[in-house]
Amino acid sequence: LHAATLGLELIGVPVGADRVEVDALQRLDADVLVLTPSHQWPTGAVLSAEARTAVVEWARARDAVIIEDDYDAEFRYDRAPIGAIHGLAPDRVAYAGTASKTLVPGFRLGWLVLPDALVEPFAAAKLVADRGSPVLDQLTFADFLRRGEFDRHLRRLRPVYRARRDALVAALAQRLGDLRPTGIAAGLHLVAWLPDDLDETEVVQAARAHGVAVAGIEPYRVAPATQGGLIFGYSSISESAIRRGIDLLAEAIAGLRSGGPSPRA
C-alpha cells in the first residue's frame, strides 16, 4: 500500500510452499523484489536454499535489489535459525528488521542493512520522511541489547508463544480437523487453509458474530484467491482463551455447514 502511494507499480509474483516462481519473475520488468523469506507473510512458508540462490541470481542478472523483510523470525519453535539472504549477496539485498514483533509495534523502531550504494540515498529519504527516529528510544534499545536483555527477553517469551501455538494447533486438530494449518514453525501467527465447502468471507463473518476475531487471507493477496484461509494471531491470547475461541469458531462453522441461522448471529 505504501509503495503504491509513492507511485511505485506493484506486481505480484506467485509463491509456492517454499519458493518464488523465478520463471514468472523473469518475465516481469521489476527493479525490486520484496520478500519475507524466513516466514512468508502471511502463509508462514520458508524460502528454500535453492529459491534463495535463484532470486539472488535473478537480482544479479537484472541489476535489481531484493528487500529482505525479516520481520518475525526471532520467535521460532521447531526449526533451526535460517540464514538471511543478505549474507549471500550483501551488494544486492537490503535487509530490514523491526522491534515490532519482538517488543511492541508502538515502539516504531526498525533497522536496515543496506548495499553500500544505497546508504546515502536511504539516509536522505529518511531525513525527508521524518527527520530521523527518536534518539532516546534508540539509546535505550542499544543498552537493552548490549546488556543481553534482548536475548533473555526472547528466551523468556519463546516457550510462552510456543505453548500458545501448541494450544491453537491442538484445538484446531480437535475441533476443526479439516482446516489445514501451515507456517507454524515460527512467528506469532499461523494460516489455516479452508476446505472447499467453506467460503472465507462467510467464515470470518460467522466467527465475528460468535465473538471471534479472525482475519481472512484474501485482503493480503495480490491476485484473486484460489483457496480460502484464516489468519490466527496467537501471541496475546491465553491458552484457555485460544481453546474457547476455537470452540466458538467450530460452532460458527457448524452453523454455516448446517445451513441454518447461526445461533448467536
Give residues in contact with ligand PLP (CB under 6 A).
36, 41, 69, 71, 98, 100, 105, 110
Q: Supply angle C-alpha 119, 93, 233, rounded to 5.
A: 110
Strand partners, 96: 69, 112
Residue whose cell numbers read 484467491? 225
For β-strands 189-193 and 229-233, DSSP reports them as antiparallel
Closest-CA residue to 188 (of 17, 15, 42): 42
215/252 with CB nearer ligand PLP: 215
Smallest distance from the beta carbon of 156 to ligand PLP, in angstroms? 21
105/219 with CB nearer ligand PLP: 105
Helices marked H in the chain? 2-5, 22-27, 49-62, 116-130, 135-146, 149-175, 200-209, 239-258
Strand ranges across the sheet with 110-113: 32-35, 65-69, 93-98, 110-113
Smallest distance from the beta carbon of 40 to ligand PLP, in angstroms? 9
Peptide bond into 90 cis (omega under 30): no
42/255 with CB nearer ligand PLP: 42
105/260 with CB nearer ligand PLP: 105
Smallest distance from the beta carbon of 235 to ligand PLP, in angstroms? 11
Smallest distance from the beta carbon of 101 to ligand PLP, in angstroms? 7
67/254 with CB nearer ligand PLP: 67
Question: How far apart are alpha carbons 170 and 245 in whole angstroms?
Answer: 13
69/74 with CB nearer ligand PLP: 69
Return all residues near 172 (Cβ < 8 A) that are at least 6 apart: 179, 181, 192, 246
180 CB neighbour count, 10 Å cutoff: 14
Smallest distance from the beta carbon of 3 to ligand PLP, in angstroms? 12
Smallest distance from the beta carbon of 181 to ligand PLP, in angstroms? 18
Smallest distance from the beta carbon of 233 to ligand PLP, in angstroms? 9
85/206 with CB nearer ligand PLP: 85
